[in-house]
Amino acid sequence: MVELKKLGERNIAAAMDLAKHYRNLNEPDEAESICRDILAVVPDHDEALRTLGLALTDKFPTHWMTVFEEATETFAKLASEYDRVYYTGIAWERYAKVVLERGRADNALHAFDEALRRFDEAERIGPKDSPAPILRFNSCVREMRSHPDLLKAADERGELAYEFGD
């Protein structure tokens, strides 16, 4: 079997730019591979961990059952508590959308509840000038309030697990 080549430390910044470029091109496999090369050299490289986790969530539409846990485990390695919480919320949100597309509204409702918890916590502990957790939270709430299958699942469950106001 052919051995992987090791990336030189001097090439990490350029490799990171390429990983983000491939994510933007919707090529998560390439972004994932590049991030793994970076992490083989610098295991705690925060930007590579974040990009790897996001690339894994980009694969949810086709591989959600196999990569969700790896994505959340990757986000758990981020240095900042805010980043760990916020990006785990993104993983739950993306997971919710994928399982909803597959007709699993009850699972999606649970996943949206988990995302809301993470975004609420991220807002509490994060930088006060960042609207990102609020925007993600509101997006989830709008989806939960408007999708007929989610409304039906919430009705069958008795209520939404996460309490939110008007």
Class at the top of the CATH hierarchy for domain 80-159? mainly alpha
Q: pTM of the full predicted structure? A: 0.91
CA distances from 129 to 78, 116, 123, 136, 154 (A): 21, 19, 10, 15, 33
The terminus-to-terminus CA distance of the chain in angstroms comes to 59
Q: State the pLDDT at residue 157.
A: 80
What does DSSP assign to residue 6? Answer: P
d(CA 160, CA 113): 8
Place 166 in a pLDDT band, splitting at 50, 70 and 90: very low
d(CA 41, CA 144): 42
d(CA 48, CA 44): 8
Phi, psi of 8 (to 5 degrees): -80, 145
Place 156 in a pLDDT band, splitting at 50, 70 and 90: confident
Output Rg (C-alpha) for the chain, integer angstroms: 17
Q: State the pLDDT at residue 159.
A: 60
d(CA 3, CA 116): 43
- 140-147 mean pLDDT: 94
Domain ranges of the chain: 7-63, 80-159
